[in-house]
Structure 1
Amino acid sequence: MRRDADRLRIFAVMSERIFITGIGTGVGKTITAACVTEALCADYWKPVQTGLMEGTDTDTVLSLLSNGVSVCHPEAWRLEAPASPHLAARLEQTHIDTGRILQLADQYQPADRALVMEGAGGLMVPVNEEVFTLDLILALKARVLIVAQNYLGSINHAMLTARMLQHTGIPVIGWVFGGDYHTNEDDVVKWSGYPKAGRIPLTDKVDKAFIQQQAQLLTTSLHSLLA
Structure 2
Amino acid sequence: MNTPVQLVVCGTDTDVGKTVVSALLVQGLGAQYWKPVQSGMEGGGDTGRVLQLLGLPPERVWPEAYRLTAPVSPHWAAERDGLSLDPARLGLPPWDGPLVVETAGGLLVPLRRNWLQIDQIAVWGLPVLLVARSGLGTLNHTLLSLEALERRSIPVLGLVLNGDPHPDNPRTLEALGGVPVLAELPPLAPLSREGLERQWQRSGLARSLQP
Give the structure-1-normalised TM-score.
0.86
- Paired residue for 1:149? 133
| Contact 1:38 1:67 (8 Å CA) reproduced | no
- Paired residue for 2:121? 137
1:189 matched to 2:174: yes
| Contact 1:44 1:115 (8 Å CA) reproduced | yes
Q: In 2 relative to 1, CA 41–24 (structure 1 residues): closer, same or farther, beyond 3 Å?
A: same
Q: In 2 relative to 1, CA 32–116 (structure 1 residues): closer, same or farther, beyond 3 Å?
A: same
- Output aligned runs, 1:90-109, within 5 Å: 90-102=79-91, 105-107=92-94, 109=95
How many Å apart are 1:68 and its aligned residue? Answer: 7.0
| % identical equivalent positions | 35
Of residues 28, 32, 41, the one that matches 1:52 is 41
- Paired residue for 1:212? 197
How many Å apart are 1:158 and its aligned residue? Answer: 0.5
1:127 matched to 2:111: yes
- Runs (4+) off by over 3 Å: 66-70, 220-226
- Paired residue for 1:202? 187
Tell me the secondary structure at the aligned position of residue 119 of structure 1: strand
Instruction: Report the Cα distance in structure 2 between the residues aligned to 1:217 and 1:69, rounded to whole angstroms.
Output: 28
1:89 matched to 2:78: yes
Instruction: Report the Cα distance in structure 2 between the residues aligned to 1:69 and 1:82, rounded to whole angstroms.
Output: 23
| Contact 1:42 1:70 (8 Å CA) reproduced | no
- Gaps (5+ residues) in structure 1? 1-6
Instruction: Report the Cα distance in structure 2 between the residues aligned to 1:131 and 1:29, rounded to whole angstroms.
Output: 21
Tell me the secondary structure at the aligned position of residue 214 of structure 1: helix
How many Å apart are 1:208 and its aligned residue? Answer: 1.1
- Gaps (5+ residues) in structure 2? none
Q: Which has the higher helix share?
A: 1
Tell me the secondary structure at the aligned position of residue 129 of structure 2: strand
| Contact 2:43 2:49 (8 Å CA) reproduced | no
Tell me the secondary structure at the aligned position of residue 111 of structure 2: coil
Q: 1:26-70 CA deviation, whole Å, 9 max, x = no partner?
A: 000000000011111010000011111354111111122268797
1:160 matched to 2:144: yes
| Contact 1:173 1:226 (8 Å CA) reproduced | no
1:25 matched to 2:14: yes
- Which one-letter code corresponds to 2:31 in the other structure? A
Instruction: Report the Cα distance in structure 2 between the residues aligned to 1:195 and 1:30, rounded to whole angstroms.
Output: 21
Instruction: Report the Cα distance in structure 1 between the residues aligned to 2:40 and 2:58, rounded to whole angstroms.
Output: 28
- Paired residue for 1:4? none
- Output aligned runs, 1:171-182, within 5 Å: 171-182=155-166
Instruction: Report the Cα distance in structure 2 between the residues aligned to 1:222 and 1:175, rounded to whole angstroms.
Output: 14
Give the structure-2-normalised TM-score.
0.92
Count of residue pairs brought into register by the alignment:
210
